[in-house]
Structure 1
Amino acid sequence: MNISVNENAPVKSTGKIEIHAPIDKVWQILTSINDWPSWQSEVTQSNLKENLKQGAIFKWKAGGLSFTSQIHTVEPKTKFGWTGKTFGASAIHNWSFSFENGNTVIKVEESLQGVFPKLFKNYFQKNLDKGIQLNLEDLKCASEK
């Protein structure tokens, strides 16, 4: 990854899931940012106005919050990552892809830092853990259709 998660952040979470779909399909679904609201239950808007590439900026809304994110890693069918900011918090979000036993295996990790994650660590940790798992399950469901 071009930017690793912040190991010293007050809030960090990881998750992993096995998806019974080709890695090409899973990659296409995850990296089609403008389509996120069609399969991610928490995302209501997403807008990438340029090609998927390192440095590209996109805006999106999830869970009632607005985010501005910048892609830091695009390694097709291997790694995808971005940083993001919202009021009082910033995040580093990384996805890794592998192919094992005929299935796509996705690992995701995220760190949250800033005044709100520091002040309300337990609240943010609980929500991040839940959000990571929900993202993985949504991606699995969309990919296995």
Structure 2
Amino acid sequence: MENMTDADEVGIDLSAPVVSRHSVAVTASAETVWRILTDIDAWTTWLPEIPYARVETPGPLAPGSVFRWSAAGMEIESTILQVRPQERLVWRGYGDGPDGVLGVHVWALTPAGDGVEVSTEESFAGPPVDADSASFQEGLDTTLAMWLSRLRRTAEAVSAP
């Protein structure tokens, strides 16, 4: 993997056939949201549609860290591309192998009011997406909105007095 500085922005593939962007205001600290988001092994506790998630690379998340997970019936292997603690997390991964769905996912946290604005965006490409981009678009839009809602509820419940 190429060497990147913190200033380099890594993003989704804007030319991909499926691109989705969503955001939500969360009344919790960036630290709380970041902890929940980056505890990949615990995703299954707040994202019931993910039956399995595990970080394969020892140590803290860093560019090059690999995690495996399952979602929407796909087995996914993802590699972290960028980590800016409490600000930005980017990964890319293949669902069902290199001939499957290539996803690039960005999570961004921005201080806002009494909490944080959490934005997420993802692009999908690959032969299965080319064959049925409308279904993949609908599924991704629904999934990202649901994940943001669940992340908000989980973070706010943890932060409640």
TM-score, normalised with respect to structure 1: 0.96
- Tell whether 2:50 aligns with 1:35: no
Matched, 1:61 2:61: no
CA distance in 1, matches of 2:31, 2:141: 26
For structure 2, the residue ranges without an aligned partner over 5 or more in a row are 1-7
**Counterpart in 1 of 2:26?**
19
In the alignment, the residues of structure 1 paired with residue 131 and residue 73 of structure 2 have an alpha-carbon distance, to the nearest angstrom, of 20
RMSD across aligned positions (CA): 1.0
Larger strand percent: 1
Structure 1 distance, partners of 2:69, 2:42, is 11
Gaps of 5+ in 1: none
* Aligned counterpart, 1:93: 105
Matched with 1:5 is 12
Query: Are 1:134 and 2:146 counterparts?
Result: yes
Residue 14 of structure 1: CA displacement?
Answer: 0.3
Aligned partner of residue 144 in structure 1, secondary structure = helix
Displacement after TM superposition at 1:30 (Å) = 0.1
- Between the aligned residues of both structures, percent identity stands at 28
**Distance of 2:93 and 2:82 partners within structure 1:** 13
**Distance in 2 separating the partners of 1:21 and 1:101:** 10
CA distance in 1, matches of 2:108, 2:95: 24
Q: Is the 8 A contact 2:11 2:90 kept in 1?
A: no
Q: Deviations over 1:57-81 (max 9, x none)?
A: 0000112211000000110011001
Contact 1:79–1:95 under 8 Å retained in 2: yes
Which protein is bigger by CA-based radius of gyration? 2
SS in 2 for 1:43: coil
- Report the residue type matching 1:103 in the other structure: G
The 1-side partners of 2:14 and 2:76 are apart by 22
Shift of 1:53: 1.0
- Report how far residue 133 of structure 1 moved: 0.3
Cα displacement (A) at 1:2: 4.6
Q: Counterpart in 2 of 1:84?
A: 93
- Paired amino acid for 1:93: H
What amino acid is aligned across from residue 68 of structure 1 in structure 2? E
